[in-house]
Amino acid sequence: MPKRNDLEQKALHYVVGTGYQGVLQSDLWRELGASSREGSRVSIKLEEKGLIRREKELQEGRWTYRLYPKRLPASIETIVDCPCLLCPDNARCDPTTALSPKSCPKLTDWILNLGKPPAPAATDSEGQTASAPEPSIPEDDSVAESLDT
């Protein structure tokens, strides 16, 4: 039988890997090769440490728990649409100047909409999905020059 701390680490790692979907307690112990009794002890321990959340769930007529991680590791997908990444003013933006993230409406909107589902695609009068306008690309090097200064 694995040591309890090893089992806690493995269990936590597995639960974190299930993300928002979580995992049934019984499936987790089967996966880790632990007994349900040992598994219950470990999941209670992880919950007491504030590392996971347990929610009661009825499965095939029996009550069990679904385990969710309380924290998920950050991923690149969480910032891929941050307006700063493609902002032409990025090089000049600074919290100590007038052009500042503290007062940027684009950044504020992005932060306020974090976690919300994306807005549905706009449709025209014939029900066709309208495509997003193409970004305008200047013909000259004015943007690049403004970033060099």
* Chain residues that interact with ligand SF4, rule: CB under 6 A: 83-84, 87, 89-90, 93, 99, 101, 104, 106-107
Return the SS3 of 105.
helix
- For ligand SF4, which is the closer residue by CB, 98 or 130? 98
- Residue 106 CB, shortest distance to ligand SF4, in Å, is 4
Please state, as a whole number, how many other Cβ atoms lie within 10 Å of the Cβ of residue 101.
13
Smallest gap, in angstroms, from Cβ of residue 142 to ligand SF4? 17
CB of 138 to ligand SF4, least distance (A): 17
- Cα end-to-end span (Å), the chain: 64
- Rg of the Cα atoms in the chain: 24
DSSP secondary structure of 131-146? PPPPPP--SSSHHHHH
Residue 21: what are its φ and ψ, rounded to 5°?
A: -75, -30
Nearer to ligand SF4, 4 or 92 (CB): 92
Amino acid (one-letter) located at 90: N
Q: Which is nearer to ligand SF4, 59 or 78 (CB)?
A: 78
The residue among 72 and 99 lying less far from ligand SF4, judged by its C-beta, is 99
Q: How far is the CB of 147 from ligand SF4 (least distance, A)?
A: 12
